[in-house]
Amino acid sequence: MKTKEKLGQIKIIDKLIELKYTELGQLKDTEKVLTALPYNKGCLNVLDREQEKIMFQIERLLKEKYEMSRIIDSVSDVEKRLILDMRFLQGYTIRDIAKSLDYSMRHADRLINAAIDVVIIERNDE
């Protein structure tokens, strides 16, 4: 997987985390309803296991995002690190970055590509 594609996954990870928290909230709402019903112990045990599973998935996704953040933080050039953070962690578009830093879009795009070139992602899967 190319560096740009790997860093681009941060947005997907954020969306997955958001969805998992929504799912967790729905399970908690279901738990409130079931708590009021008699003979609910079996159902509540299933809900508990599902909640634990979702929390484990959220933890795994957060670790993955943290690793990507550490990769960006390891870039020694401050400007490149800032641009990578804005683009991949904060979700800025190239236009947003250019406007925020008072650069042309072409210059911002070149800086993003130059910053990506200095990022080192271990390629265990290649």
Which pLDDT score, from 0 to 100, does residue 121 have?
Answer: 65
pLDDT over threshold 60, residue 122? no
In this predicted structure, what is the pLDDT of residue 10? 92
Q: Would you give the distance in Å from CA 102 to the centre of its chain?
A: 27
Q: Which residues of 105-126 are buried (b: 16+ CB within 10 A; e: fewer)?
A: eeebeebbeebbeebeeeeeee
Alpha helices in the chain (DSSP H): 3-35, 41-73, 78-84, 94-101, 105-118
pLDDT at 44: 83
DSSP single-letter state for residue 88: I
How sure is the predictor about 2, in pLDDT bands with cuts at 50, 70 and 90? confident
Angstrom distance (rounded) from CA 52 to CA 24: 9
Average pLDDT over residues 114-123: 76
Domain ranges of the chain: 3-118
SS3 89: helix
Amino acid at site 2: K
Which pLDDT does position 59 carry in this prediction? 97
pTM > 0.85: no
The per-residue pLDDT for range 66-118, each reduced to its tens digit, is 998 998 998 989 999 999 999 999 999 999 999 999 999 999 999 999 999 88
3-49 pLDDT, tens digit each: 888 888 999 999 999 999 999 999 999 888 888 777 777 888 888 99
Structure tokens at 32: 């409130």
Nearest to 30 by CA among 52, 51, 58: 51
Per-residue pLDDT reduced to its tens digit, 37-62: 777 778 888 889 999 999 999 999 99
